[in-house]
Amino acid sequence: GIPADPLFRSSIMINIRSYGAVGDGVADDTEAIQKAVDDAEARSIHSIFIPEGTYLLTDEILIKSYISIFGTPHSILKAGTGAVSSLIKYDFSSYESQSIVIKYIQLDGSNIAANGILMEKTSGSPYLRNCAFMGIYEHDFTSYGFKFACAQDSALYASGFYNCVFDSGLSLNKFGDTVTINGCSFGRKSDNEFVQYTNASTFAFSNNNVTGYCNFSLQLPSAFTNDIFELQVEPTKDFITIGHAVGNLVMTNCCFSNQHGIADPSTIKLLKLTDYYLEFINCIFTANNAPACYAPVNSLTCRFYGCTISSGISNKDTVLANFNHRLFDVCSGTYGTVEGFDTLNTNEINARTGVLLNNYIRIEAVNTLPATPKNNTLYILRSERRLCLSLTGGVVYETAAMTVRS
């Protein structure tokens, strides 16, 4: 969950206006804000307050202790003249294992600053935990609005991003366990990366609206829930990539939407997946998705539960073809689904090769059950509207009559 607000641990908070910050968008407030930070560090005060206003920065603000930043919905830090690597930089050299909260701040890169907030260390083990980043709105940075970049032995964990807007992008490189991203928007200009620390687990990406590029390099388990991935401009590379994981990944109530088109879907994909035991539950693949927009899973199995894939069976088949037809363990879907059973168009089932249930049981669509059913085969009886499962040794399990869409 969201960690306790530092205000409840201490009644003392540094107000940057007390150090000469003006906030009129004209005066250079860099020196005043740096003085406020330095004084907070010297006095072991762990919170600074940025009142409403536009604060012009011509150099980065350097923070060398666990200081939280609180603003208002109208508190703006804006890059001034001259390119800087970041507006705010946290140096992890001298502290670790502390809570940091950044709440209600706008970051304006003016297309000259590289990063909005930069948390960086090239060596050591600064394990930041119980951090919360809420209500951050960033735009017009040449690199990322928020960048966490640490060495291989460093990680951000037990932390989350909530209700933020990333127009330039969010980069979490080498984050650890129990990281949550919830209710955030990733603009179409953004280029986001999520690289999980080796052997880390439990990543939750939920209730997010994504129109910018995302590259997920994750350990498992991970869960995507109630997310919208919507391509709005012609991409120059794969729109969403998920790879390098071991185990199980679940995507629930997600929507994949292609609102623009892909000039060459043979080289650029809307969704590219690798090395997953992947489950889609109640997901939607919209009608504008070209069949070739999905890159096939390189290994293991895809399962679809209750998914809606396009607006017609023809496009559904071609989209699924890009998942190597690894479709089954499917229930309660929209197309071809009644009473917990879903399948490809049964008229085409027998013409396909490699259509398997659980990657093991073959499926055949027939009018009547053969006198000697094959082992390990699920029969779809069109005329009798039944399902018959024949296992090794001649054991046959049969359903009662049901509606099986063909």
Mean pLDDT to the nearest integer, 307-318? 51
* 97-129 pLDDT per residue, tens: 578 999 999 999 999 999 999 998 766 666 788
Grouping H, G, I as helix, E, B as strand and the rest as coil, residue 320 is helix
pLDDT > 50? residue 4 = no
Burial of 367 (0-12, 13-18, 19+ CB in 10 A): exposed
Distance CA 212, CA 191 (A): 6
Single-letter amino acid, residue 135: G
Q: What percent of the chain has pLDDT over 70?
A: 71
Helix-then-strand count for the chain, H and E? 3, 41
pLDDT > 60? residue 312 = no
Distance CA 219, CA 201 (A): 5
Q: Are 305 and 333 in contact (CB under 8 A)?
A: yes
Mean pLDDT to the nearest integer, 14-33? 97
Nearest to 13 by CA among 51, 53, 31, 40: 40
* 346-397 pLDDT per residue, tens: 444 454 444 555 456 777 778 888 888 888 888 877 777 777 888 776 667 7
pLDDT at res. 298: 55
pLDDT > 80? residue 234 = yes
Please state the pTM of the whole predicted model. 0.77
pLDDT > 70? residue 156 = yes
Q: Which of 157-161, 311-315, 394-398 has the highest mean pLDDT?
A: 157-161
More confident residue, 182 or 4: 182
Burial of 55 (0-12, 13-18, 19+ CB in 10 A): buried
Mean pLDDT to the nearest integer, 269-279? 75
Q: pLDDT band for position 404 (50/70/90)?
A: very low
Mean pLDDT to the nearest integer, 190-209? 90
Whose tokens are 């991003």? That residue is 161
The verdict on whether omega for the bond into residue 221 sits within 30 degrees of 0, i.e. cis, is yes
Number of neighbouring beta carbons within 10 Å of residue 368: 10
